[in-house]
Structure 1
Amino acid sequence: MEYIELGNSGVQVSRIAFGSWAAGGWMWGGTEQNDAVGAIHASYDLGVTSIDTAPIYGQGLSEQIVGEAIKSLPRDKVQILTKFGMRWDLAQGDFAMKTKDNAGQDLDVYKYAAPASIIQECEDSLRRLGTDYIDLYQIHWPDKTTPIPETMEAVQRLIEQGKVRAAGVSNYSVAQMQEAEKVLPLASNQVPYSMVRRDIEQDLVPYCLEQGKAILAYSPMQLGLLTGKIKPGQAFDESDLRARHPLFAPENVKRVNAFLDKIRPMAESKSATLGQLVLRWTLAQPGISVALVGARNPEQAVQNARAIDVQLSPQEVNFISQQLDQMQTA
């Protein structure tokens, strides 16, 4: 495995991190707790020491599963990355979405990052995770109803109390990062990034490179689209995020699969899966520090972790990028 420091925080993480959104079952068609715990353990055995979660994933379930998984692991060898600022149990702040919980009940979710709410969320997360500190605490989404300095002052207090080691943000713009940094140093920004979603290359990547901030790429496999296993017109359960996602429209799936067919021989020549090749390319992009990858079971977790063993030359990275460019201009 490869490891990297998040900014200047002193927090070292594995470049492939376990993303536990799917483990919470929420918007992802259910989960099996034993499989999720086994997946985290299988990842850890291959050097994946960093686990990313959030209270909103399964309304606490994902954090509970992570807590169960780390009970038998040495705490100082594991990095817990969790988040705050999305409330489903409180109708305050900036309305985010209508969704359903794992039982199919309607749920209203709010982006809310007022200081008192953050302090409570941190205590709840620590309890669910069964730990007394969080390695990286990230605001999940910007909350336009709370001034950024107020949010960051609360996080600063948690750092001073030893409950949080480093502060991060998620889904923040460059301007929002700059405002946050007036209060405390940020270690990272967690944002969506994949072969078919590269808009952060315009401004966020140059900023983070210049300022020495880490970028944690979420959905690097684009919700499974880049595995090559999704077929045009594939049906998804109504509760599944992909059911209405524009990238899963039949025409787009066809284009992406045609691109994947062009790089498949390279994957085969390296005895790698398409997914492993995609992850390796992602980690080879400037400014991308970590790829967050989910797994439902130990087998998937092992495949994800072994992506780090795939070696790509600069020429091979360029070849893949050229095929991508051709797909996007076609």
Structure 2
Amino acid sequence: MEYRKLGNTDLKLPVITHGAFAIGGNMWGGNDKQDSISSILASLDHGVSAIDTAPFYGFGLSEELVGEAIKGRDRTSIQLLSKFGLVWDGSNKGKGVFFFDAEESGKKIPVYRYAGKENIIKEVEESLKRLATDYIDLLQLHWPDQTTPIEETMETLEILIKQGKIRAAGVSNYNTAQLKEASETLLPASNQVSYSMLNREIEEELVPYTLANNIGIIAYSPMERGLLSGKYFRGGKLKENDHRQGYFTQFNLDKVQDLIQTLEPIAIDKQVTLSQLVLRWTSLQPGITAVLAGARNAQQAKENAQSAQVSLSAEDLETINKALEKL
């Protein structure tokens, strides 16, 4: 496994980091507890020492499963990445901004973005309990909250670092202007953003800024939630309550299928899966510290970890990039 230093911190993350969104089950058509735990253990056993989760994933379930999976393991050899700022239990008492309605057991649950000081402190204590640990390696704001001053959020994160409850603080889904404002109070260690072959908007402004200011980028949705695996063009079916039923409609699926047909011979030649090829390309792009790869069972986790070993030549990258220009 390849490890990279995260921004201005002493944290070193595996270039492939375990993404624990799907194991929460919510929005993903459910989950299997034992498979979820096995996926985490397999990641750890194959050098993927970092696990990225969040309270919102499964309304606490993802964090609980992560805590159960790492029980008895050497905590210092594991990097736990979690988040704050999405409130679904009403504890925000009308503060923050409405985000969307989530669903659980057929009921709509309003979710709010809220990054006020008291909420951050509350969420961290709850996350520490679910994760069964006394510190979080990287705590990240899940989504921007326009109703709370960025300065207040950053000052609270600075307090938590001094208290030892978190080792480093980052953000998610921030644009360049928001990063600049945050840095006036506390330089974020990282920005977790959506990035994939089908979504490269960050390359224009955000990546140059983070490179110049020693801020790491953690890329999420590199597989576009499984679309780039190709299996949905080969008869794969989604459950009715899987959010990807609607998510995939944003893409020109004919062009995505053409891209996959270009990538598949490269993957076959290298004796790797299409997913492994896509993950490796993503990890080799400028400014990317780590790539989040979700896994719902041990085999997927193992394959994700092995993607870090895929060798892509300059010619391979040129072929891939020319195919991407046609999207």
Interval containing the TM-score (normalised by the shorter chain):
over 0.9
Q: 2:158 aligns with which of 156, 159, 164?
A: 156
Structure 2 CA distance for aligned equivalents of residues 129 and 71 of structure 1 = 9
Match of 1:78? Answer: 78
SS in 1 for 2:81: strand
Q: 2:208 aligns with which of 196, 206, 209?
A: 206
Cα offset, 1:227, TM superposition = 0.4
Q: Structure 2 matches for 1:38-187, cutoff 5 A? A: 38-90=38-90, 91-101=94-104, 103-187=105-189
User: Which moves more between the two structures, 313-322 or 74-83?
Assistant: 313-322
Paired residues of 1:81 and 1:135 also in contact (CA < 8 A): yes
TM-score, normalised via structure 1 length: 0.95
User: Which moves more between the two structures, 314-323 or 274-283?
Assistant: 314-323
Structure 2 CA distance for aligned equivalents of residues 269 and 231 of structure 1 = 21
The residue type equivalent to 1:318 in the other structure is: E
Paired residues of 1:153 and 1:183 also in contact (CA < 8 A): yes
Paired residues of 2:227 and 2:248 also in contact (CA < 8 A): no
SS in 2 for 1:321: helix
Instruction: Give yes or no for the alignment of 1:197 onto 2:202.
Output: no
SS in 2 for 1:184: coil
User: Which moves more between the two structures, 175-184 or 75-84?
Assistant: 175-184
SS in 1 for 2:153: helix
Cα offset, 1:121, TM superposition = 0.3
Structure 2 CA distance for aligned equivalents of residues 282 and 49 of structure 1 = 19
TM-score, normalised via structure 2 length: 0.96
Identity of aligned residues (%): 50
Cα offset, 1:104, TM superposition = 2.8
The residue type equivalent to 2:38 in the other structure is: G
Structure 1 CA distance for aligned equivalents of residues 228 and 10 of structure 2 = 33
The residue type equivalent to 1:274 in the other structure is: L
Cα offset, 1:316, TM superposition = 1.1
Paired residues of 1:39 and 1:297 also in contact (CA < 8 A): yes
Cα deviations by residue, 1:170-219 (Å, 9 ceiling, x for unpaired)? 00011111111111121100000000011111111111111111100000
Cα offset, 1:63, TM superposition = 0.3
What RMSD in Å do the two structures reach over aligned CA positions?
1.4
Match of 1:305? Answer: 305
The residue type equivalent to 2:108 in the other structure is: D
Match of 1:2? Answer: 2
The residue type equivalent to 2:305 in the other structure is: A
Match of 1:268? Answer: 268
Q: Structure 2 matches for 1:5-44, cutoff 5 A? A: 5-44=5-44
The residue type equivalent to 2:6 in the other structure is: L
The residue type equivalent to 2:102 in the other structure is: T
Q: How many aligned positions are there?
A: 324
Unaligned runs of 5+ in 1: none
Structure 2 CA distance for aligned equivalents of residues 262 and 24 of structure 1 = 33
SS in 2 for 1:7: coil
SS in 2 for 1:230: helix
User: Which moves more between the two structures, 41-50 or 237-246?
Assistant: 237-246
Unaligned runs of 5+ in 2: none
Structure 2 CA distance for aligned equivalents of residues 99 and 87 of structure 1 = 11
Structure 2 CA distance for aligned equivalents of residues 269 and 13 of structure 1 = 29
Cα deviations by residue, 1:139-187 (Å, 9 ceiling, x for unpaired)? 0000011000001111111001000000100000111111111111211
Paired residues of 1:225 and 1:248 also in contact (CA < 8 A): no
The residue type equivalent to 1:26 in the other structure is: N
